[in-house]
Amino acid sequence: MVAADWLVILMQEEWTFESILPGLLDPEESDWVEECLYTQKLSMDEFYRLHLDVLTTVTGRPWYVALRLIEVARSSWNALGGEVVMKADAASLSIAGWLDVLYLLILRNMDDSKVSMFLSQLEMPPIGFAEDPAELEMSPAAFMALGSD
C-alpha cells in the first residue's frame, strides 16, 4: 500500500486497530482472523501486538514513533501540510518514505532549541513497551566486527 492508503486510516482523529486488521484484509482473510480469535488460537494480546508489529514493519520505525509523527502532521497540518504535499507524494511513496520526508520537514521547521526535547519525546517508548536492555547490548566481538571490512 502507498502512504495515501495508510494515511486515510492513520490521520483520522479517532482511528481503531480494527481498521487495520481485519479492515485491510479481504473478506476470507478477515473471517479467518475472526475465527482465530473466537477459537482462541490467537489471543487478544497477540492480536493487539500483531497490529503494532504491522505498523512497525510498514513504517520502518517503532510504531509509537510513527504514530507520534503522524499526530504531529495531523495536528499541525496548517503549518506543515503544504510543504509535505509538495515534497512527499503520498500516492507514490510508501508510508515509511512519507514519514521520512515528514520527519525531515518537522526538524527543519523546528526551532533548534526545541529539537532535543522533541526527539526525546518522539522516541520514548510508552510505559510497558520499553526495549529489553539485554537486547540492546552488543557483545565486544560484535562491536569490534563493526570496524572491520
The 10s digit of each residue's pLDDT in 20-31 is: 888 888 999 989
138 domain-assigned: no
pLDDT digits (tens, 9 = 90+) for 16-71: 888 888 888 899 998 998 898 899 998 989 989 999 999 999 999 999 999 999 99
Distance CA 10, CA 19 (A): 9
In a domain, 144, yes or no: no
Model confidence band, residue 148 (pLDDT cutoffs 50, 70, 90):
low
In a domain, 46, yes or no: yes
CA dihedral 79, 81, 86, 90 (to 10 degrees): 160
Q: What range defines the domain where residue 120 resides?
A: 3-129
* Distance of alpha carbon 37 from alpha carbon 58, whole angstroms: 23
Q: Is residue 110 part of a domain?
A: yes
141 domain residue, yes or no: no
In a domain, 35, yes or no: yes
Number of domains in the chain: 1
Residue 103 lies in a domain: yes
Q: Judge contact between 64 and 125, C-beta under 8 A.
A: yes
